């Protein structure tokens, strides 16, 4: 199977004629790669397979030139291979509540997935029953709109994987472009194939890399699930004091600081509400003096109808979200300047330590229903014709503003805007909204860890019930422990027992941060919602078990090994390469006893939300 694409590197460049499919290479096992452009106009497209420098990895490159600037033509790059061992299609949006779940092979005629600078990334992988990559593919065009059609073809059981490019009507005229598609058939484990493809995508994007500050890996308290927008500076300062006692020295001040009580999302002005604080700068200063750093939430794209400055946006909106707010058009320099001015003031005047820039994906949603203003007769007051370059310009300049004010400032983005250029604009990526869903939490963390490279990956705000047991609190924490925890409960009202459990696990993540967040990350059962997660450093291995009866492969007891029980039962199925002795701990970190673990398969007794330490 690894020879699947090897033969195509010898193919010479071929001209893509109108309406004709150009065969870029016949592959082993009956596969074929083709390029098609139905209406090239004055464009001359050539397609070729080019060497990748990696065995089992091939590249198909399409180059195009026009004698004068013109709209780029729509074209597609498609591969068809026998279905063989493929069982499921991995894609970036899996695990998010709005989309279908993992473990499914889509029907190709119904499977259309979209990516752009503001949403997802053009990276997909067909996996076999053991979560090995049959074919992992990625496209270098990660900023413009790319449509992917992928799945099994009815009848011959053939896998179809097709990228279509240049589908936005408002794209800037150009006189040349180049797109490369990467195909990996090395049968690597998914947790090896996906990071390799994501790293290639990241390297293909021209935006510069910036270092990720160590503070991006600090656990935080978040106000959102605890209070929504019903909060004020006194409440936050009391919560921050308790948070510090637990080891949480950063807070995310979410929605509510800038609006009347209970009115969520934004008012367009994005200035501190007198209801929240009479002196916002003094509020931040008091938090700093007490030892708390502040990341401030900012709703980048949203404007509500009751905004005091709504008239300023007249004729400069894109569309209205189904739940009320309108989305402003970043192609207008006045709108970008307003946004940039507000975040510059937040850094300069209030001295916040970072920003949570939310709802950027609103610029990438609803491609098929969003009706962009017609710019065929001219762009008017816009200084950019195409939406996605304007989005990139907006967010890269935002990164420059924030980093210019403070080089170690944190910038948080949220799944769905996870493409290469967006990753380079932020320091950390947060899991998509999944309140109370432990499975979605860990699966979202797994997918982000596999594709976000050096960026820190944060959990969605972690919540539990006010009467939650120690086991339930611990299981909420363990569902997100391979991402940086954002704890979002009312700490001032939480029972002492809950706080003790939280304090234990915050200390645990600090003590083992190298293995949890910066070491080698592996996933077992990715196609089944990531049933076992593993983080490993040179000194220790941490294994998170999340499914009753699913065997957690713990490797050799050649270093300290921690097996975390988040199965919802007092038992964990494990496999060790050699016999080992372990110490059992409860959800609060208290020692419960010892256990002898035989080599091979075994079921060990571990309290819910507790763990076993081997090799102490």
pLDDT in tens, 336-358: 999 999 999 999 999 999 999 99
| pLDDT attached to residue 370 | 55
| pLDDT attached to residue 101 | 61
Q: Domain residues for 284?
A: 214-309+340-373+396-512
194 & 218 share domain: no
Residues 538-591: tens digit of each pLDDT:
999 999 999 999 999 999 999 999 999 999 999 999 999 999 999 999 999 999
Domain contains 323: no
Please provide the DSSP assignment of 419-459 as one string. Answer: SHHHHHH-SEEEPPP-TT-HHHHHHHHHHHHHHSTTSEEEP
| pLDDT attached to residue 136 | 96
| pLDDT attached to residue 246 | 98
223 & 195 share domain: no
Q: Which of 71-85, 210-224, 312-326 has the highest mean pLDDT?
A: 210-224
Is pLDDT at 434 greater than 60 in this prediction?
Answer: yes
| pLDDT attached to residue 367 | 54
Residues 125-162: tens digit of each pLDDT:
999 999 999 999 999 999 999 999 998 887 778 889 99
Is pLDDT at 3 greater than 70 in this prediction?
Answer: no
Range name among 261-265, 373-377, 539-543, 575-579 with the lowest pLDDT average: 261-265
| pLDDT attached to residue 51 | 86
42 & 100 share domain: yes
| pLDDT attached to residue 261 | 55
What distance in Å separates the CA atoms of residue 394 and residue 105, rounded to the nearest whole number? 37
| pLDDT attached to residue 365 | 67
Domain contains 332: no
Domain contains 69: yes
Is pLDDT at 256 greater than 70 in this prediction?
Answer: yes
Percent of the chain with pLDDT over 70: 89
pTM listed for this prediction: 0.94
| pLDDT attached to residue 98 | 52
Domain stop point among 142, 177, 204: 204
43 & 75 share domain: yes
Domain contains 318: no
What distance in Å separates the CA atoms of residue 357 and residue 300, rounded to the nearest whole number? 6
Domain contains 387: no
What distance in Å separates the CA atoms of residue 578 and residue 598, rounded to the nearest whole number? 7
229 & 166 share domain: no
466 & 565 share domain: no
What distance in Å separates the CA atoms of residue 271 and residue 221, rounded to the nearest whole number? 22
| pLDDT attached to residue 167 | 82
| pLDDT attached to residue 84 | 83
Higher pLDDT among residues 595 and 24, named by residue:
595
| pLDDT attached to residue 1 | 37
* 317: number of Cβ within 10 Å: 17
Q: Extract the tokens encoding 177.
A: 């472009």
Is pLDDT at 206 greater than 60 in this prediction?
Answer: yes
Higher pLDDT among residues 489 and 378, named by residue:
489
What distance in Å separates the CA atoms of residue 143 and residue 340, rounded to the nearest whole number? 21
- Between the two ends of the chain, the Cα-to-Cα distance in Å is 43
289 & 428 share domain: yes
| pLDDT attached to residue 509 | 98
Average pLDDT of the chain, as a whole number: 90
Pick from 545, 531, 577: nearest CA to 478: 545
| pLDDT attached to residue 407 | 96
241 & 296 share domain: yes
Domain contains 197: yes
| pLDDT attached to residue 27 | 47
68 & 140 share domain: yes
Domain stop point among 460, 494, 512: 512
Is pLDDT at 28 greater than 50 in this prediction?
Answer: no
Unique residue bearing structure tokens 């290479």: 25
419: CATH: 3.20.20.70
Is pLDDT at 20 greater than 90 in this prediction?
Answer: no
Domain contains 384: no
Domain stop point among 512, 531, 558: 512
Our CA angle for 388, 449, 50, nearest 5°, is: 60
Give the chain's domain count.
3
Domain contains 88: yes
199 & 237 share domain: no
66 & 185 share domain: yes
Percent of the chain with pLDDT over 90: 75
Is pLDDT at 75 greater than 90 in this prediction?
Answer: yes
| pLDDT attached to residue 109 | 64
480 & 530 share domain: no
């Amino acid at each position: 199977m690894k020879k699947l694409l090897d033969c195509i590197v010898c193919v010479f460049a071929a001209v893509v004629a109108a309406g004709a499919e150009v065969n870029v290479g016949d592959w082993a096992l009956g596969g074929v790669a083709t390029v098609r452009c139905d209406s090239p106009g004055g464009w001359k497209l050539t397609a070729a397979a080019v060497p990748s420098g990696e065995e089992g990895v091939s590249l198909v490159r399409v180059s195009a030139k026009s004698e004068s600037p013109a709209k780029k033509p729509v074209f597609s790059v498609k591969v068809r291979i026998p279905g063989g061992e493929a069982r499921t299609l991995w894609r970036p949006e899996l695990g998010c509540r709005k989309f279908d779940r993992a473990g499914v092979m889509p029907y190709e005629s119904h499977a259309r997935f979209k990516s752009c600078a503001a949403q997802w990334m053009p990276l997909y992988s067909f996996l076999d029953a053991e979560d090995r990559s049959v074919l992992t593919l990625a496209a270098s065009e990660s900023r413009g709109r790319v449509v992917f059609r992928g799945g099994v073809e009815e009848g011959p059981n053939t896998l179809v994987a097709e990228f279509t490019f240049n589908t936005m009507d408002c794209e800037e005229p150009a006189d040349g472009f180049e797109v490369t598609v990467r195909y990996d058939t090395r049968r690597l484990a998914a947790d090896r194939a996906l990071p390799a493809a994501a790293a290639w995508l990241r390297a293909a994007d021209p935006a510069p890399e910036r270092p990720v500050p160590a503070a991006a890996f600090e656990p935080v308290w978040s106000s959102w699930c605890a209070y929504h927008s019903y909060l004020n500076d006194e409440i936050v300062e009391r919560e921050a004091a308790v948070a510090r006692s637990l080891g949480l020295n950063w807070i995310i001040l979410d929605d509510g600081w800038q609006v009347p009580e209970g009115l969520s999302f934004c008012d367009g002005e994005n200035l501190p509400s007198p209801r929240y604080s009479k002196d916002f700068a003094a509020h931040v200063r008091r938090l700093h003096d007490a030892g708390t750093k502040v990341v401030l939430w900012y709703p980048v794209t949203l404007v509500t109808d009751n905004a005091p400055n709504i008239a300023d946006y007249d004729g400069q909106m894109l569309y209205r979200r189904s739940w009320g707010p309108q989305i402003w058009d970043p192609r207008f320099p006045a709108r970008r300047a307003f946004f940039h001015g507000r975040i510059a003031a937040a850094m300069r005047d209030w001295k916040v330590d970072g920003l949570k820039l939310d709802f950027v994906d609103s610029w990438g949603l609803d491609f098929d229903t969003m009706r962009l203003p017609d710019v065929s007769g001219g762009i008017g007051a816009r200084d950019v014709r195409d939406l996605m370059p304007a989005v990139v310009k907006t967010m890269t300049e935002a990164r420059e503003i924030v980093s210019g004010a403070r080089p170690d400032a944190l910038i948080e983005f949220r799944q769905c805007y996870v493409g290469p250029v967006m990753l380079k604009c932020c320091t950390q990526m947060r899991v998509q909204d999944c309140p109370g869903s432990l499975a979605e939490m860990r699966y979202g963390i797994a997918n982000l860890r596999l594709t976000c490279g050096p960026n820190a990956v944060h959990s969605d705000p972690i919540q539990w019930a006010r009467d939650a047991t120690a086991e339930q609190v611990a299981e909420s924490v363990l569902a997100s422990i391979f991402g940086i925890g954002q704890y979002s409960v009312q700490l001032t009202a939480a029972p002492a027992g809950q706080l003790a459990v939280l304090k234990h696990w915050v200390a645990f993540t600090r003590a083992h941060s190298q293995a949890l967040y910066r070491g080698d990350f592996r996933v077992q059962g990715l196609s089944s919602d990531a049933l076992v997660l593993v983080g490993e450093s040179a000194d220790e291995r941490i294994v998170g078990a999340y499914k009753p009866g699913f065997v957690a492969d713990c490797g050799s007891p050649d270093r300290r090994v921690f097996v975390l029980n988040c199965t919802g039962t007092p038992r964990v199925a494990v496999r060790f390469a050699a016999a080992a002795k372990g110490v059992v701990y409860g959800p609060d970190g208290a020692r419960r006893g010892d256990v002898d673990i035989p080599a091979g398969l075994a079921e060990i007794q571990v309290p819910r939300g507790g763990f076993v330490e081997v090799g102490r």
